[in-house]
Amino acid sequence: MKTLKFIGAAMAALLVSSAAFAQENGNRDENGNIVRGAYETNGFWDNWFIGAGAGVNGNYDGEIKNKVAGGFAGEIFVGKWITPCVGADVKFHGLTNKAERKSPSEDVKFHQNSFEANALWNISNELSGYKETRLIDVILYAGPGVGDYNIKGTAAAWELSAQAGIIADVRLGKRIDLYANLCGRVLDDEVLKSTGRGCVLPSLTAGLVCNLGKTGFSRHSSVTPVVVPVPFTVEQYNDLSDKVAALEKENEALRAKIAELEAEPDTVFVESPIVSSATLYFDCGSATLSSRELAHLEYYASSALNADSKVTVTGSADSATGSAKRNQYLSEARANYVAKLLVEKYGLAEDNITIVADGDTNNVFDTPAKNRVVTIK
């Protein structure tokens, strides 16, 4: 009976602590409404936890004189929060206990070791909205289990079970929590040789939880944050009014300037055309262009020149062939030939053409063939 009284008192303490989440208001807007998700995707390695605890357990068997007893209970577990409200864990739970067996009539001690899988539901986050820094979270859980129940001197009997409970999780820091776990397990009591109504094993444990990886959840950026309006002081209001008046005055001045400019006649500024350069290549000893180079000249003149264009036509010859006198003659003949084409065929004014003959002194290219050239700039 002492064990049951202790567990009952612990349950009352848990229920009192569960009311604490209702006092949280750090995640509410200015109207007192709960601020909820959606939340960003929870990565696989985010929000894991491991923990261990120890405590006491009780034993109630409805078929054996309503016998109540108690013993030691311990547990280790690992789990993950998938959302702020939903998670899962797997647990190893072990306890020692005793009961009165019906036949033969005797008090027996037994051990129970079980492996359990539980679904977790954080009702604090569910009802009051997610808050990572909340002092106390209340969590409900339930799930199936399997374990061996071994009485000294008999073989272990593996049986299915089910468990449900409530956890009060107290935040100590970002990585460490303190928890209290009140749980009830139901199993077939074949080991105790009763008539088959089942055995209930309540337990109360407490311990520490270590949070692993990235902790907490972030609201999705698509959720508009709550902006709490801040009232203006009289000085701030007057200052803003003065700034608005100044901006309106400046706006009126700009409008007047635009109207003045629109009333003036349009003025068109024509700049001298910018003439790009051209390079025309001649065959060795020739002072006339091939058909291919004539096509280049035609394209250049039609796309880059007009009647007002001013150009300099420079003729050159390569120094690798011929004498300096011959090369001077060729450079002059080539320059005059191109200038004549520009005047007669493409309409440039003769006065706008400057002719330069460099002979073979202007060999700027790396091969002789490239220096048999006329450039137009």
Higher pLDDT, 325 or 267: 325
Number of domains present in the structure of the chain: 2
> Distance between alpha carbon 375 and the CA centroid of its chain, in Å?
59
Q: Which amino acid belongs to residue 77?
A: F
Which tens digits make up the pLDDT trace of 80-107? 999 899 999 999 988 887 766 555 566 6
Mark whether 120 and 204 lie in a shared domain: yes
Asked if the structure places residue 93 within a domain, the reply is yes
Mean pLDDT on 268-273: 51
Tokens standing for residue 130: 């997610």
Which tens digits make up the pLDDT trace of 26-74? 566 666 677 766 777 788 899 999 999 999 887 765 444 445 567 888 9
From 167, 186, 212, give the residue that closes a domain. Answer: 212
CB 315 within 8 A of CB 339: no
List the domain range (segments joined by +) for residue 330: 278-376
Mark whether 59 and 140 lie in a shared domain: yes
Asked if the structure places residue 273 within a domain, the reply is no
- Whichever domain contains 315, its CATH number is 3.30.1330.60
* pTM for the full predicted model: 0.51
Q: Which of 302, 288, 296 is nearest to 346 (CA)?
A: 302
DSSP code of residue 233: P
From 212, 228, 243, give the residue that closes a domain. Answer: 212
In the block, residue with structure tokens 């789990």:
79
Which tens digits make up the pLDDT trace of 350-375? 888 899 988 888 787 878 888 889 89
Which tens digits make up the pLDDT trace of 148-194? 767 665 656 677 888 999 999 999 998 999 999 999 888 765 555 54
Higher pLDDT, 277 or 282: 282
Q: How far apart are CA 3 and CA 60, in angstroms?
A: 11
Q: How far apart are CA 287 and CA 284, in angstroms?
A: 9
Mark whether 173 and 304 lie in a shared domain: no
Q: How far apart are CA 312 and CA 283, in angstroms?
A: 22
In this model, does residue 275 exceed pLDDT 60? no
